[in-house]
Chain A
Amino acid sequence: MSILHFFSILFLLGGLFFFITATAGLLRFPGFFTRLHATGKGDTLAVSLSLIGLAFYEGFTLSSLKILFIAVFMFLAQPTATHAISRAAIKSGLKPWMKKDEMT
């Protein structure tokens, strides 16, 4: 159980935790935008943590460098995709969820 394996277990557990919270957000939140709010950020962080954990598990090789590249790419791509979806939802007339008593 080298130090690398210890760190990879740590990061993978962190990634799994944020996957659980993102999934809970996706299921439990009322409106579409609140759900996208949860998965957009939760999944981005979870993927980044898990990928860094897997890169630690691999040690210092070319494939761990590629895994870190995927982590950086997902860190940039996921918010862009979330932005594109929410813009499309707004344009096609989806109203954000409002609390009933604050219908100002």
Chain B
Amino acid sequence: MISFLYGIGIGLCILTLFVLYRGIFGPGVFNRIAAISAIGTKTLILLLIMGFIYNRADMFVDISMVYALLNFVGTLAAAKYLEMEK
């Protein structure tokens, strides 16, 4: 079961590399924000998987809860800023 979690984690890392391409070469700033938001959700799952691999689930669950909230607020702040900028 643990090796299955390793597989899922490695799969998510490879997917993050693909999303990173969009983040770097994204034509505009909005593509980059969409890529960062996508990377944020993938990191959330990776964080939890690491927690289970090190079987310190309680600590990592709290960390990933905070990370989910911060990722959401960050995306909103970026959208709010870019809306004003003319």
Residue count of chain A within 8 Å CB distance of chain B: 46
| Nearest chain A residue, comparing its CB with the CB of B45 | A50
Is the beta-carbon distance between A81 and B83 smaller than 8 angstroms?
no
Count: A-B pairs, CB below 8 Å? 127
Query: Are A70 and B44 CB-contacts (below 8 A) given A22-B38, A26-B38, A54-B52?
Result: yes
Docked CA distance A57–B57 (Å): 11
Binding site for A on B (CB under 8 A): 1, 4-5, 8, 11-12, 15, 18-19, 21-22, 27-28, 30-31, 33-35, 37-38, 41-42, 44-45, 48-49, 52, 57-58, 61-62, 64-65, 68-69, 72, 75-76, 78-80, 82-83, 85-86
